[in-house]
Every structure is written in structure tokens, then in C-alpha cells.
Structure 1
Amino acid sequence: MIPIKEATEFEKTKQRNVSLRSYQTEMVEIATKNNSICFLQTGSGKTLVAVYVIKHIIENSDQKIRKKVVFLAPQVLIALQQFEVISATLPYKSGVYYGDDSINEWDAQHWKTEIEERDILIFVSEVFLHVVSHIYLTLDSISLIVFDECHHCQKDDIYARIMKTFYHGGVQTQIFSNKPRILGLTASPCMQAGKQKNQIKFIEDLFDSQLITPTKNVKLL
């Protein structure tokens, strides 16, 4: 079975409002209006920016439809860390999903029940790819996808496969016209020295987003 973790009662009691610093507020204001790639240094609070964007999206969504927020991470440890932050700061039902080939033991009904009970779904990227490939979850039922460490998107990386196959003219986008909002998080949008301009354009095009970085109060970083 896939290891699944939900917020414990203790974790739920820790839910709190965490104040944003001014440069984070600037990022949130942009990212709540447009698809964005948030470029902040390591330790500058990218996850907190994502938390506030998620909060805004959920609070301003049609509650009758109850679309899901998806948070993707490239590794299990990162997914677990982000789950801890999200479950401790937001009062919504969330779950984190990671595993190996045993994921095939879950059928469509199992996934349907699991997804219906959650507001925020935190996946290791391979698991999300499996879920959307089998149409257990469709893009038109998602309000926002957060791609953590979104610079992991070269060639056949899973993030690239997700965007190319299911967002940019793939099977699901031919059927469903309502694409989710996109938020990327990165501390290093350029992976190859000397190719900064080309790589920024590539990552912006892939994620249908604009790279954003603080222009105000940068001394706080």
C-alpha cells in the first residue's frame, strides 16, 4: 500500500496565522492574480508564499464545486516537509501521497473516495503522474497546482511530462477547457551556467507563467 499521512489532532491544533514579510506579500499579490514562478533564495519562505496563495484560491473558489489544490514535490522528504507546513498553517483537509509500484493496488473508486475527502493533495510527482494518467483526477477538477523545486523540469523530467501531456494540448485539455492555475517555486531557475536567458524562457513557457522575484524590500532577504 502507498504510505498516506493525514494531519494528526496535535498538528491541527497548531494551525495558525503566520505573518508574511513584505517581500513575501509582494509575491503573493502577484501570484494570486497570475500564473507565476516564485524565485526566492533558499530559506526566504517560498513555502509560506505558496500557503497564502493556496488560502486565497480556496477562499475565493466556488464552494459548491470544491475543486482541489495540488502540491507537487520531486522527492518524498520534500513532500512530507511541505505537508507538515501546510497542515500546520491551513485549516483544510490535506493528505500526502508517496509510494512505489504498489500504487497500482488502488482502483478508481479508492482514489475517488480519497480525493473527495481532501481539499489539498500533496503528491510526490511520480504519484500524481500516475493518478492523472489513469484519470483518477482530472485537471478541470483542480484549481491550483503548485510545483515545488520547479526547475526540475528538463527534457523528460516528470514535471515536464505533466505539463506537456496534460496541460499543453494533451488529451485532458482537449476534453476539459478549465485549466488550473499554476505556481512554481524555485531558488535556482537556471540549471546550466551561461544559458540563463534561454532557460528562463523555457521554464516560463513550460509552466505558462512569469518568473517573479521581489522588487521591494529586497534588503529583508
Structure 2
Amino acid sequence: MGEKQIYMKRRPGYRCMLAQDYSRISSSEPCLCTAYDFECDYGWERQADGKCSPAFWFNPNGVAKSCSSSQSFLNSTGYRKVLSNNCKERGRNMYSPKRVACHPRAPQGLHLSTSHGELSATIGSNVTFMIHLDNGESPSTSIQLDFGDGIKITYSNLSRTENGIRHIYRATGIYRVMATAENSLGSDSSTLFLHITSTWISNIITHSFSSACSM
């Protein structure tokens, strides 16, 4: 597809056998690409006029989180070449992805949670905090996590927190845990309240609940 091929065939009346390595294609030449050689890219939909437009849920200006201001990326124009199409693109093809420079972005949409989604834990147990950033320049964005018990920890970039941040609380109480993401363009923060209980209180609550269920 997308190329002009000239084939050879046996003359009428001839019954000779074709060898396995014989190719019927005499010559092959790619055609210039047209709109028919492309389909809508991921996140784009074909409209009534035949053009591809972004779907309602897709942001065509979204940039990969790993893209920093010193890099560039190929941004889709909404089209991609049909699979196995060998057409030849013109000098400036309107359907080809365009290389775009990455622009610095302030952190936005910072989320803080525990690994199991629970807001309570027993004293002395490992609590794993997970941090997620919806939008921002991850390589140059520092992360600070305040555990609420007087201990703070800072990471130079978000990628170092992918496996979670563990912390052990040594006293009971309700702790205000706050994560802050910051770079040269701005900052964002997220807060949760964690209830740390003693082991014997947790056992009493569990035992009372089990007794009530068995009645």
C-alpha cells in the first residue's frame, strides 16, 4: 500500500513452473502520501468532513511528565500512517508529527495518599506514602514531605518517590501530613490526616467488632 508496483506474469499458453525465489514484482516505487494514507491517531476521532479532531477526553497539548525544558518531543497532528503503508512523505507533510520544544511548567495536581488508601495505622508500623503529580516538570521539581511529627524529608525530583516513602510513627495521635512540590515556576501541596493508634486499642476494637458480629 502506498506504492506503485509493476508485476510480471507468464504469457498465455506457457506452462513453465515458477521457482520459489522468483519474484513477480518487476519494479516498485513509493507514491507521494495523501490524506488517504493516514488514519486518526490515538485520542483523535474522524469527523463528518473527514478531518481528525481531538476526542472530548483527550488533551492534544498534554506533554509527557518526563519532558523537561531542555528537551523536545514529537507532537501528533492527529494523524498516523496506516500500517504497512510505504508512501513517501513530502518535504513538509501536514500529517506528520511536529517536533515541539518542552516548556517549563509549574507543578499542578499534587496528590498524597497511603499505599493502601487507609488513614489510620498502629504505632510502630511502617506507613508508606504515595505521591502523584498530574502536571509539572518532574526532573526539576523537588518534593518535600512533612510527616507531622517534626520530621521532614526532601527529594531533589519526583522520580525518586515512585516506590513510595516509608515512615514509622513512635507516638499515638492524629498527624497532619503535607507534601509540597516546588520548582522555579511555582508550587503545589497536598495534605492528609493520619490517625496513629496503639496496638492494644486496635486489638480491643477488632475484638469488640468480632463479638458484635457473632451475636
TM-score (norm 2): 0.19
Structure with larger Rg: 2
Please identify which structure carries the higher strand content.
2
TM-score (norm 1): 0.18
Please identify which structure carries the higher helix content.
1
